[in-house]
Structure 1
């Protein structure tokens, strides 16, 4: 079964917000380390992909 772009976009955005939360918590506890940069990179990719998928859903819906 295929997922709609909207559902996938929401999932990616939730995952990105979770990675942002983890990065903030780890920076507050231990300061900046390599792991924090990995979390920030993952969050950036997930939020970007989520927004792109959500925009695709609305573009297809309007056409």
Structure 2
């Protein structure tokens, strides 16, 4: 079986410094340029810029 992600709008910002983020999987490191995403349940996690670009696009507010 194949599945497709549901369209979900998330909040995200790009960090300009090294930081550590508490995620559901534990503490993760984010490097400058990584995106910090807030998920649908308020959870935060880092995402590398190349993956973010392939996965997300801006929405009109």
- TM-score w.r.t. the length of structure 2 is 0.24
Structure number with greater CO (CA < 8 Å, separation at least 6) is 1
Which has the higher Rg, Structure 1 or Structure 2? 1
Question: Larger % of helix: which?
Answer: 1
- TM-score w.r.t. the length of structure 1 is 0.23
Question: Larger % of strand: which?
Answer: 2
